[in-house]
Amino acid sequence: MEQKDPTPLQDETIIEEKKIEKQEEAPVSSNDKKTNKVKKPVTRKRTMITSIIISVISCLVGGFGGYVLYSGLNPEEDPIVIEKGNTSYDVQAIEASLEEGTFISLYQEKLQDPLNYMLDQFVSQTPYTLVIGKGVVHAAAGVEQSILSANYCSPEGFYVEKISDSSVVHTADRYYDDALSMNIKAYEAKYPTDWEKGIEPKDYTYDQYIQAFGKLNTGLYYCLDKSDVSEEEPIPDKFLSLSKEEYEQSQETGKRVRNGLITYTLSKNTIQSGTIEKRENGYFFHVDLNVPAAVSFTTVQMKSSGRLKARPSFTSCFLEFETDLSLNLIRSLFHDEYRVNTGGLVTNATSDLNQQYFKSETSLFQTGAKEVNVSRPDPKALDFNGYELWREE
């Protein structure tokens, strides 16, 4: 097999850091002073707790395959730290080690190689891929937010759907990519039933989508270096092409490859520690990531999807992947923990997203005895049939 582009990992990074000013307290009206001069301590405490809970769960923000929850009250932002270079690995060496039984001993100390190999293989081996996610976010006072997501890629382009629900917050977003025109239509609503009523879509070019959400939700795509980053455009990537041939022919020195399957960065600089375990039918990977360097794409996406003024401040993150014996992706778990600034009080939130991976040569997907002809739904249709492939475990 041909070796993957061995461009060495560059050390250049883009670091952007901005402090967010605290919001001023709203003045008390003269009316309030007359009717409630002195609030009882118990009432004040209940009001504060209620405000914290509502602020924590008031905004849901999209990860690449689902939603993550955090406050909309201007938390202090993590800096943006994004590696400009390509991550290289030796395809033939990885595949030979799998056959010879030396895989774990060779790659235990450089997990970024097999991890990026399996992610790239998933998006490049077949023209049709589907990732389904289900999860939950745990916030203050026992509040839970459900997560349902799908990322379907085909020659037509990518389709992303995100639905999240709790007793307080409801979101239902759809994104339709047209690979020919390189335009994305976004349908953002509160409930899936709103899609049936008809929503005026918002249009994104590929470059606009990259700056808003961190990455395109497609497989491999190719970019040039963008030096003029800012608060509004924090990603140092300028879209070049979806074509590997055009990428290879480009004479630009700052060109690079991105994989839109995942918004976490997996490199020797971002993996703090990890393990590989061989099981009966495949391999199990666990990696603890360095934050914020590993989650910068993710936090940009979270900020835009939640229509927020600031990015979250991560405290920890770990990922788990299950594969077969050839490193074909089967399922994953993404666990994030981050701080929430609720107007002077710091609250923690945690999210867990379970995902299952499917690929096919055609739109007809099979899993076990189940067979589904997956298609992008009409914008006014209520259901996406790709969810039928989910395997209950």
pLDDT tens per residue, range 15-42: 333 333 334 444 444 444 444 443 444 4
User: Which of left, alpha, beta for 142 (phi over 0: left; psi -120 to 50: alpha)?
Assistant: left
Report, as an integer, the average pLDDT of 202-219: 96
User: Which of left, alpha, beta for 99 (phi over 0: left; psi -120 to 50: alpha)?
Assistant: alpha
Token pair for 362: 């055609």
d(CA 391, CA 173): 23
Q: Which residues pair with 299 in a beta bridge?
A: none
d(CA 333, CA 284): 11
- pLDDT at residue 221 tops 90: yes
CA quadruple 214, 295, 134, 285: dihedral sign? positive
Query: Predicted confidence band at 304 (pLDDT cuts at 50, 70, 90)?
Result: confident
Query: Predicted confidence band at 247 (pLDDT cuts at 50, 70, 90)?
Result: very high
Can you give the C-alpha Rg of the chain in angstroms?
A: 22
Which stretches of the chain are assigned E, i.e. beta strand? 13-16, 60-62, 67-69, 80-83, 128-138, 144-154, 157-165, 170-178, 183-189, 202-205, 220-225, 237-241, 256-259, 271-279, 282-289, 313-324, 329-342, 345-360, 364-367, 370-373
- pLDDT at residue 223 tops 90: yes
- pLDDT at residue 269 tops 70: yes
Q: Which residue ranges make up each domain of the chain?
A: 36-389
- pLDDT at residue 12 tops 60: no
- State the pLDDT at residue 19: 37
- State the pLDDT at residue 312: 80
Length of the chain: 393
- State the pLDDT at residue 165: 84
Report, as an integer, the average pLDDT of 88-94: 96
Identify the residue with better confidence: 202 or 55: 202
Query: Predicted confidence band at 141 (pLDDT cuts at 50, 70, 90)?
Result: low
Under 8 Å between Cβ of 203 and 185: yes
DSSP H or E segment with residue 112: helix 112-124
Under 8 Å between Cβ of 135 and 115: no
- State the pLDDT at residue 344: 46
- pLDDT at residue 236 tops 80: yes
Query: Predicted confidence band at 76 (pLDDT cuts at 50, 70, 90)?
Result: low
- State the pLDDT at residue 23: 40
Report, as an integer, the average pLDDT of 369-381: 96
pTM over 0.85: no
C-alpha distances (whole Å) from 346 to each of 147, 272, 300 are 24, 25, 21
d(CA 132, CA 388): 10
d(CA 136, CA 128): 27
Report, as an integer, the average pLDDT of 183-194: 95
